[in-house]
Amino acid sequence: MFEDGSIFNQLLVERLNYFIYVVLLLIGLWAMIAKNNLIKKLIGMSIFQTAIILFYVSIGVKEGATIPIYLPEHDPHGSHAQLDSNQTELLSHGAKVLEASAVPNYTNPLPHVLMLTAIVVGVATLGLALSVCLRIYRGYGTVEEDELLEKLEREDSRKSGGSNKRRPRRRTPANKGGPAGQSKRGQTTEKTKSDKPTPRRRQASKSRTKTNGPAKEQAKSSNRENDKPKPVKRRRPARKPKEDKS
Amino acid sequence: MNDPVIVEDIRPLIALLAPWAGMIGIIWAGEKRANLREMFTFIAASVQAAVVLSLVPIILSGAVVEFHIWQIFSHVPMLLRVDGPGLLFACVASVLWIATTLYAVGYMRGLHEHAQTRFYSFFALSLSATMGVAFSANLLTIYFFYEMLSVSTFPLVTHMQDKQARTGGRTYLGYLLFTSLCLLLPALSWCYVWLDGGNMTMDFMADVGKVGHFGETTQIVLLFLFTFGFAKAGLMPAHSWLPGAMVAPTPVSALLHAVAVVKVGVFCVYRVYADVFGPEVLAKMGGEEWAMVIASATIIISSLIALSQDNLKRRLAFSTIGQLGYIVLGAAIATDRGQGGAVLHIAMHACGKITLFFCAGAIFVASGKKYVSELRGIGRKMPLTMGAFMIGSLSVIGLPPLGGFISKWYLALGALDRDAMWVVVVLLISSLLNVFYLLPVAVTAFFRTPETEKDSSLKEAPWPCVVPLLLTAFGCFLLFFWSDTLLQMVGLQP
Amino acid sequence: MSDSIVWIVLFPLFGAVACALGGAMSKKICYPVSVLSMLATVWVSVDTLFQAIESPVHEVSYILGGWSLDLFPRGVGIEFRADLLGALIALVVTGVGLIVALYSKVPVQRETPGKEPMYYGLFLLQISGLAGIALTGDAFNLYVLIEVAALTGYGLIALGTNRAAAATFNYIILGTIGASFYLLGVGYLYLKTGTLNMVGIREVIEAHGLFDSPAMQVAFVLVLLGILIKMAFFPFHAWLPNAYCHAPTTTSCLLAPLVTKVMIYVMIRMVLTVFGVEFSFESTWWTEFLPWLVVVAIVCAAVMALAQREIKRMLAYLIVAEVGYMVGGVWIYNYYGLIGSVFHIISDACMTLCLFLGAGIILEKCKTTHFNGLRGLFAKMPLTMIGFFIGGFSIIGLPPTCGFFSKWYLITGGMVSERWEYMITLMFSTMVMVVLFFRLIERIHLAVDESGNNLGKGHGDLGLTKQQTRFDEAPLSMLIPLLLAASVVLLVGVYNQEVVNQIEVFLQPFNLPTGVKYE
Amino acid sequence: MKKAAFILVLCIGLLLAWAAKDFPSWGDPQSPASSSPVASHFIANTGVDTEVPNMVTAVLADYRGFDTMFETVVVFIAGLAVFSILRGGPKNRTRDREFVVDFEPDLIVTNTVRLIVPVIQIFALYVLAHGHVSPGGGFQGGVAMGASFILIALSWDLKTALARFPIERCFTVAALGIVIYAGIGLLSLFLGGEFLDYAHLAKIFPVSPEMARYHAMLGVEIGVGFTVTAIMFALYASLSTDGRMRDGL
């Protein structure tokens, strides 16, 4: 159906934009499917959506055309609108239909509009997904998928009272710290016990990935000493070294 | 039936809804007011029987009663139609329901059964479904009521709510729903699309013999699907739900597994053979040979198994399977007298077999005995019961002057009409086997001396148990002497 | 009224805004506000349906923004088109929404205390989005509405426990992939046809004969893939079970009946209206094999449902199997199959609603939906059980519930186009459903545990205390919706002809193959 | 698993690449998208229909105004969902303290911000109001406005920002924005047109139908601006504090 030469020729020469969007899309998709860290999945999601946006925008491209805003000579309120001074807006309707020769001068506005929508939807989805991540982290103390799944399985088996066919009853006491399965639960239990230190670290790191600016700014400013301690606010030396790393 | 007079009448619907009304009353009365509750059952049963019997003269005058309930599909209505065979079946079921109710009162109270409200209400439901099957006018309607019966009898079969009940219920539903959903449904939708291409009324009167338009193989496949789809007919190898369902209380076994359920099955098969395929198509398609063969095999094998059963109810169950085989055989013979005999046998066998079941139940209530070998000399203690048992078994065997004789006679005649001698031979052999597995029970009961006299306290079961079985035993005689009416109904006599 | 079609979307929208604004003052008003707005919505959608039935062309077209077709080229403005299919689906969506809104009083207060304004806001916006999906006639507007429905869905699920939030994440990832694929496909369509209006797209395809163009083929693949992911078709079903069985009760009652079904509606819409029958069935060789995919899907989903020991999870897998039914009904490509799957959208919405309402009540009263906690429920809450099992019988396909009739048409379709594999699969899954629900009945009705040991002392003793078997029915605000849903299941079954007639009217113009040999 | 995913992704990539050879070449004026009657109608008649020089704004807020309304609704949904998902977490003080910021607002930063925030907000208003004739519009303006509040939260702390824009007011404002948008559409519905048919507003405002569309678009954009501003800030506030609304990050 297609032999490589032709397809690559067509892709890389006259349809480079489509090629780029395909590559971006694949990167995003791969990240969404295969990455283990939930935040990385979300990054992949953003790349994915950006790729689609690129595709749409490149539909709108038109040779020798300018942005879809009327040049002064076509502007309804521009030079050609015969709007003499004593006439009020009530009557003035000076705009004329663009003559066909002028139409090719403007790119097609529709893709841009559509992509405005897509961007907004992307933002909304990202925000929602991030909040879900926070919630997951609040509940399970991790944003790594495998650890999360492990904990979820354990929780489900505990909830379904062990009499679940897929999971024999014996395991339920084991989860409560019996000898069995101790090795696997070693680090996770201590993580759930010492819930306090870990969340902060992850919190900070996640918020950095989320909004890069604020984290840095704060990192800078959090280094400086303040000598009149407020009752509410409490200094946390534990925070310093980690912030220095950033 | 060449275009008979059609009478619009709501009575079939009343017969259908009477049990529902009864059920509402039953639930309202509840466990607290037991007498009131059973009175409601009686009322429902008598109303139903009265309505059904009131239809008899119309049918005898050669007319057909119809009632249109609602339109299922654009072409297929939910249509009730009362014709001879249907009415005969309906009469048997509704009249025997009265007897069974009386018997059930005695039985359930005698054994202090639990959840009797549930029992009576679902009992009423299943009777309503039976009426529906008897009165339905097309394949889809009959299918609806068939499924309704399967589901509404499940709580009765699993009445004991213990492990055996679970096993029995599983076999019961497994067989019935599997066959009806996986064999029947395709056959139905095949008929819906292609029977009488386009106008898709799967009507019994309008579409007789339209199957003839299909190819040979299609006809055979359809016949197969229908015959085994209605697994309530208990044809081997789809029979084992019936012994399994014997875990139910005896009234249930009596009515549902000697009268309603199994007879619904064979009645459906009869409908298919007589009113969907029609005798001539059946005769010329050549598919009915193996139907007859299967039926005969069922008769012989089940009789042989029955010989080996010591549990009385199981023995009766296998005997039932054999008797159902007669009916399917008669329907498959595809001659008027054969099919008429089949319908007659529904009535005759029902009367005889319910007597036997009543007796088994009465024995269980009175003495708690389930096995034939325990019955030595019990006849002296319970002469009425065992006498009725004797009559019942003679009727089932088919000796004059008992009902069973007539139907077997017509079956044989039907077989001779299409000079299938071997069928007659099968009938004879099976009758012989009936003698072997039924008579010994009565003989043991009367003439063998009990090994111990310790159960001298043994006496007849309470009267609500005994009266019905005497009535039904008497009914066996009546059926013989009133057989003209029945013959008229099934159109064997002008 | 003439513009009731747009009110179907606007009433819930304003209801949501009212909840968000008024909820700040008092949380009490949210429940009545949402019920009232749902009532109004149902009313206008019934009105729309009748407009569509009465109109000569059997559809109501409404151009938003006044860019009417006779003054402007098609596709300048966004068009709302309620043909009979769309109007029916919109009615189903709003009806289910109303019932669930009635039902939501108790569980919402228990499960998401203090969040009622947001919850009802999202709830109503979900309805608005789904109804919009059923009505819009513009491919890109469909995407926006899909996202509205999806985002509200994520929110509604994640509002619950942490477990629910964890379950939501997969849903978000897969849902976004699906929606984005759809968006990409629409982009291809726009690239090749230069319009976004559904009818416009088909006109261009048929005018320019774009049947074999690779871009269109890929667009078809992408759109289909996206929709299949969104409707949890078997290989892509991973998000559904967890999301539905850990979501708050009301959420699962709302999403389970609607989301997957509406997506199937979108698929039918794409196949019939956007790409057209000729493109979808004749010029794509690979759609031949979709029924086989369906077979795999149904079998796997049914088997997985068998493995479950928890009602809500079992129901979730049932939904996956049912999705297989409907997809298969479309792709066996004949008249009866399509009638079947359209009717099955409606009936499955009703019966799934019924089942999930029942499961919600069980969860509310027994604090668990695990099989072990169910014994003696017939004695405890008979009405609930009756409602629940009417839904169950409908899933099995016992007459006269609506499930029987949809399954009837599907089987007939499979037979007409001689897709025996599909037919046999339907039989198989029917048997699985029988096992599922009668096993449930056994667990509730019999005094026997799973391994078959008697628990009671015989004679119907369930081995329970008087306390456990005392009559203790659910609160009316939950019971009445359940019985309402159950009666709807029965009514839709009894009067299926009325519905099917409308579907037939809708399907007439596409002249699909009917296998009937007239003599 | 990963291998399977990789193969899947690769297949999709090949599919898309294969489709790409059927596309019109880049920037081809004759491509169906650019030469379709819809596109040329937008280009040729926007001025006549709506008097708006910026076609994108016209298409966004008028031709496809319904899309944009639901776009706004999507933003609103995101705000609602994030806020309600995150709020009401476990109430223990130690967790709360992790979110306490332990530094003084920096002098230089705060003063700089004090200087530039008004500028940002003025510019946001300009972008919003000038969206008809130049690139811009409700979303852009709204985002800029929201960013100004976020900047306050970053340079001082969230409490300071919340003091200026309380979280409850965020949702009131957001809902208000939707009310404005849908309300304008509804008004035109009540005036006898279709929903969002701004031209009918000319019946009550002393302008020509085209100018009615022109001004209605401004109103709509303002509504969008409200919602986006409020929700952007609400998102930041919720996410940065794990829903606690204490001083964040």
Q: Please list, in sequence order, all residues whose beta carbon lies within 8 angstroms of the beta carbon of residue C375, skipping any fewer than 6 positions away.
A: C443, C444, C447, C455, C462, C463, C464
Contact at CB, C162 and A135, closer than 8 angstroms: yes
Distance set, CA A198 to CA A202, C237, D88, D94, D100 (Å): 6, 34, 21, 13, 16
Q: What would the mean pLDDT of B462-484 be, rounded to a whole number?
A: 85
**pLDDT > 80? residue A8:** no
- The average pLDDT across C270-282 equals 89
In three-state secondary structure terms, B86 is helix
pLDDT of amino acid B420: 79
Closest partner residue to D35 (CB to CB) among C119, C128, C194 is: C194
Closest Cβ opposite residue A76 in set D8, D51, D64: D51
Residue with tokens 């809500």: C312
Looking at the complex, does the CB of residue D11 fall below 8 Å from at least one CB of chain A?
no
Neighbours of A220 (CB within 10 A): 14
pLDDT, tens digit, for every residue of C230-248? 998 988 888 899 899 889 9
pLDDT band at D247 (very low <50, low <70, confident <90, very high): low
- Which of C168, C176, C372 shows the shortest C-beta gap to A161? C372
3-state secondary structure C405-450: HHHHHHHHHHHHCCCHHHHHHHHHHHHHHHHHHHHHHHHHHCCECC
Nearest to D65 among C65, C151, C188 (CB): C65
Contact D77 C148 (CB under 8 A): yes
The residue that leads in pLDDT, A233 or C197, is C197
Mean pLDDT of the B138-164 span: 87
Tell me what the mean pLDDT of segment A15-34 comes to: 87
pLDDT of residue D192: 86
CA C467 to chain centre: 38
Q: Cβ–Cβ of A140/C162 closer than 8 Å?
A: yes
Last residue in a domain, options A115, A139, A163: A139
Alpha-carbon torsion (D44, D50, D54, D55), positive or negative: negative
Q: Which chains touch A (3 or more CB pairs under 8 A)?
A: C, D
Residue A224 has pLDDT above 90, yes or no: no
Distance from CA of D122 to the nearest CA of A (A): 22
**B296: how many CB neighbours lie within 10 A of its CB?**
22
Q: What are the angstrom distances between the C-alpha of B146 and each of B223, C241, C357? A: 18, 35, 29
Can you give the pLDDT at residue C381?
A: 87
Closest Cα in chain C, distance from residue A125 (Å) = 7
Q: C-chain residues within 8 Å CB-CB of A56? A: 187
- Domain presence at residue A204: no
CA distance C188 to D215: 35
Which chain D residue's Cα is nearest to A52?
D16
Query: Is C249 exposed, middle or buried (CB count within 10 Å of its CB: 0-12, 13-18, 19+)?
Result: buried
Interface check D204 vs C, CB under 8 A: no
Look-up: residue for tokens 């049947």? C211
This prediction's pTM:
0.89
Task: Name the token pair of A61.
Answer: 């491209």
A52 and A25 in contact (C-beta within 8 Å)? Answer: yes
Distance from CA of A104 to the nearest CA of C (A): 15
Q: Are residues A8 and A129 in the same domain?
A: yes
Partner residues linked to A66 by β-bridges: A106
pLDDT band, residue C316 (cuts 50/70/90): very high
Which residue of D75, D195, D203, D239 to mutate against C (max C Cβ within 10 Å)?
Answer: D195
Q: Is D39 on the interface with A (CB under 8 A)?
A: yes
**A56 and A111 within one domain:** yes
Residues of D in contact with A196 (CB under 8 A): 94-95, 98
C6 interface with D at CB cutoff 8 Å: yes
Looking at A129, A160, A178, the residue that finishes a domain is: A178
Is pLDDT of B290 > 60? yes
If you average pLDDT over residues D99-109, what whole number do you get?
Answer: 72
Closest among D75, D193, C246 to A136, alpha carbons compared: C246
Residue C62's Cβ-side half-sphere holds a number of Cα atoms within 13 Å equal to 29
Mean pLDDT of D233-245: 85
Q: What is the pLDDT of residues B295-309, one digit of tens each?
A: 889 888 988 888 888
User: Side chain identity at D73, as an amino acid letter?
Assistant: V
Give D91's pLDDT tier (boundaries 50, 70, 90).
low
Q: List the single residue in C162, C187, C370 with the smallest CB-CB distance to A139.
A: C162
- Looking at residue A47, its pLDDT comes to 94
pLDDT bracket for residue A238 (50, 70, 90): very low
Other C-beta atoms lying within 10 Å of the C-beta of residue D100: 17
Strand partners, C63: C79
Q: Is the pLDDT of residue D82 over 60?
A: yes
* Tens-digit pLDDT profile for residues C458-499: 666 666 777 777 777 888 889 999 999 999 999 999 888 889
Q: Looking at residue D249, what is its pLDDT?
A: 55
Tell me whether residues C219 and D66 touch, CB distance under 8 A.
no
Q: Assess whether chains A and B touch, using the rule of 3 or more C-beta pairs within 8 angstroms.
A: no
**pLDDT at position A9, please?**
64
Distance between CA atoms of residues C118 and D175, nearest Å: 12
- Is A155–C183 a contact, with Cβ atoms under 8 angstroms apart? no
Dist. CA C205–CA C275, nearest whole Å: 7
- Percent of chain A past pLDDT 90, that is, above it, reads 20
| Amino acid type, C91 | L
Among A26, A49, A149, A212, pick the best mutation site for testing chain D contact (most D Cβ within 10 A): A26
Contacts of B28 (CB under 8 A, 6+ apart): none
Examine the domain organization and report whether A133 and A162 are in the same domain. Answer: no
**Rounded alpha-carbon distances, angstroms, from residue A2 to A135, C58, C221:** 48, 45, 18
ipTM over 0.90: no
**What's the pLDDT at B490?**
80
A32 and A148 in a common domain = no
Tell me what pLDDT residue C516 has: 61
Residue of A nearest to C75 (CA): A110
- Joined tokens for residue C4: 């009731």
CB contact under 8 A, D86 and A213: no
pLDDT in tens, A135-185: 888 888 888 888 888 888 888 787 765 444 444 444 334 334 333 333 343
Q: What Rg do the C-alpha atoms of chain D give, in angstroms?
A: 23
Q: Which residue of A has its CA nearest to D20?
A: A18
Count of domains forming chain A: 2
Query: Among A91, A116, A139, where does a domain finish?
Result: A139
Least confident of B206-220, C214-228, D105-119: B206-220
Share of chain D above pLDDT 70, in %: 92
Which run of H or of E encompasses C413? helix C402-416
pLDDT at A161: 55
- Chain D closest CA to C174's CA: distance in Å? 14
Per cent of chain C over pLDDT 90 is 52
- Asked whether residue C318 carries a pLDDT value surpassing 60, the answer given is yes
Q: What percent of chain B has pLDDT over 70?
A: 96
pLDDT of residue A184: 40
187-216 in chain C: CB under 8 A from chain D: 188, 190-196, 204, 213-215
pLDDT tens per residue, range D36-63: 888 888 888 888 888 888 889 989 988 9
Chain D residue numbers with beta carbons less than 8 Å from the beta carbon of A224 are: 103-104, 106
Give the span between the Cα atoms of D38 and C195, in whole angstroms: 7
Residue in D20, D90, D208 nearest the CB of A11: D20
Least confident window among A38-42, A48-52, D191-195: D191-195
Check if C158 contacts A (Cβ < 8 Å).
yes
| Mean confidence (pLDDT) of chain C | 89
**3-state SS assignment for residue B311:** strand
Q: Given B114, B143, B190, which is nearest C459 (Cβ)?
A: B114
Q: pLDDT for C357-403, tens place per residue? A: 999 999 888 888 888 878 878 888 888 999 999 999 999 988 889 99
Domain ranges for chain C: 289-519
Q: Which of B71-75, B427-431, C17-21, C508-512 has the lowest mean pLDDT?
A: B71-75
pLDDT at residue B165 tops 60: yes
Contact A116, D139 (CB under 8 A): yes
Determine the Cα–Cα distance for residues A239 and C440; give it in Å rounded to an integer: 56
Q: What CATH number is attached to the domain comprising A58?
A: 1.10.287.3510
Structural domain range at position A163:
144-178
Instruction: Write down the pLDDT at residue B242.
Output: 84
Mean pLDDT in residue range C36-51: 94
Is A30 part of any domain?
A: yes
The mean of the pLDDT values for chain B is 84
**pLDDT for residue B142 is more than 70:** yes
B277: DSSP letter: I
Least CB–CB distance from D12: residue in A14, A29, A236 = A29
Tallying the residues shown for chain C, one arrives at: 519
Nearest partner of D49 among D58, D40, D36, judged by Cα: D58
- pLDDT of residue C130 exceeding 90, the answer is yes
Residue B361 near residue B103 (C-beta atoms within 8 A)? yes
Q: What is the band of B198 on the pLDDT scale with cuts at 50, 70, 90?
A: low
Q: Give yes or no: residues A125 and A166 share one domain.
A: no
Give me the pLDDT at residue A49, please.
93
Q: Taking CB atoms and an 8 Å limit, are D66 and C64 in contact across chains?
A: yes
3-state secondary structure C127-139: HHHHHHHHHECEH
pLDDT at position B65 is 86
**Chain C interface, mutation test: which of A17, A53, A135, A172, most C Cβ atoms within 10 Å?**
A135
Neighbours of B446 (CB within 10 A): 18
Evaluate whether residue A18 is within a structural domain: yes
- Is cis: bond before A168, omega within 30 of 0? no
Give the helix/strand (H/E) hosting D249.
none
pLDDT of residue B465 exceeding 60, the answer is yes
Distance, C-alpha C484 to centroid of its chain: 18
- Residue B102: the pLDDT is 86
